[in-house]
Structure 1
């Protein structure tokens, strides 16, 4: 039979492994009587664990939310996953770096030597490339997340690229972290349309707006919607290319931000954009297919410049032995 301390740890592990346990099921797993289970549950409660009980034949025990934060029981793979997560946590969240580091130090002190060596080997063998990011206060993220959970509208001032600020009202749907920034995918009440908002540009107002009934995801694909919205937000030049190639072939060659519409089995329309007409002219060549394009007035001259440049290069090209 397990000692009392070992049995308490085993009981805690069982309670954490699934939502509900009956008294007899716990007794069988621990090899003790149901009376001993009740006694051990009382000991866990005295240590600060919130163990809730439901009476009756169908009753049982489960861990409830407590005021304290007792330690979790993790196996080796779970502990390693948490440690890796802490090392890569806090991207774009103000103040989380120090919090994650303190938690990581506490965790690493408790890791067995072999597991600690595995973590050290992984850290030594990996490199994190720097990425542009916009920091967001954690209280802003949690306030938005709470509004998502409660299905409450949010009111906020929103700063545009030109520093102009407008008061907005939205029904928050999901927080998304991509390309070093936090975005809120939400239904824009004022414009009756789905929008993505950069969270670092939001200044929340209180109180929240009224409760709302959740809507279907935009275009039936939240991830695709956010990728397209984020990817096209910085486009200074936009155009519509009629491409003589199947839509599936072009979709495989373009980033998610580019919307491709099938016309027929051999033709499609690609909604494209870039920072300038010159860049867009170069980018269109990467489609590797014939096309015509509707765009700004300076796009045609840009295409001619690119064509002339490549023609000169072709005329002057030599050969190199393989």
Structure 2
């Protein structure tokens, strides 16, 4: 089969298509023909040599796929050859075929295309984990979502609304209409406003009960200022830098703030399977009845992967960037 590899860590010019060995499914896995995958920030970091592949993970880029089951392991239950599915995977998405444990699969409803389905697993499972498993989201919570127009951000807005809570987002001004259409109650232009002041003003001084952060160190002090009493801050990335030069511990103590860091790829297979099962039961039906939607910004053929990586690096997208995978 073919897969997208890179010659050595560097920019997108290092990417190329190459022949690689076909995967062999184990007893609990299925073999998928991959119709589409989607870009994630981790792909760019891995290509640049800044995101080491965890031990045992597939070294090929791509953390989510949509495709068709073409082979079954002997202990697979609940799926048949010909089923159209999507899944969160631990690498290997930028390839024509992939072996996936059947406990990670989500069967596609008829209304969901491969390109839409490929845009769901990583961002929705990440947002679901952060909001429900870590932050214990409650109805009527106010949730501050940084990078609200990103893949995880657009997923989080919808999950917050679905739970009966109120989403506030930070995003560039030209993306505000798109995130408002998804359900954001307040859009903050982080380039022109102090987001902590904006949150406190919107909530009449109560602050945000939950904060999803991707920026890291530079936002810590403002996140504490924006936080409510007993707030839960979930840190999903440190795109702005991991170091904190100086900040006051007082808000942590006075507001009883909880700060939790998490990454999905370092989780165990068993954890991801349990998370997927909970998501399948509680959230997945929303994609069949239309209450939830995959947000796809742009679709590229995988031969245009370098252009897709450049586009993601520009931060111009709202939602996901999808690659369609070529046939043999």
Q: TM-score range by the shorter chain?
A: under 0.3
User: Which has the bigger relative contact order, CA under 8 A and spacing at least 6?
Assistant: 2
Structure number having the greater helix percentage: 1
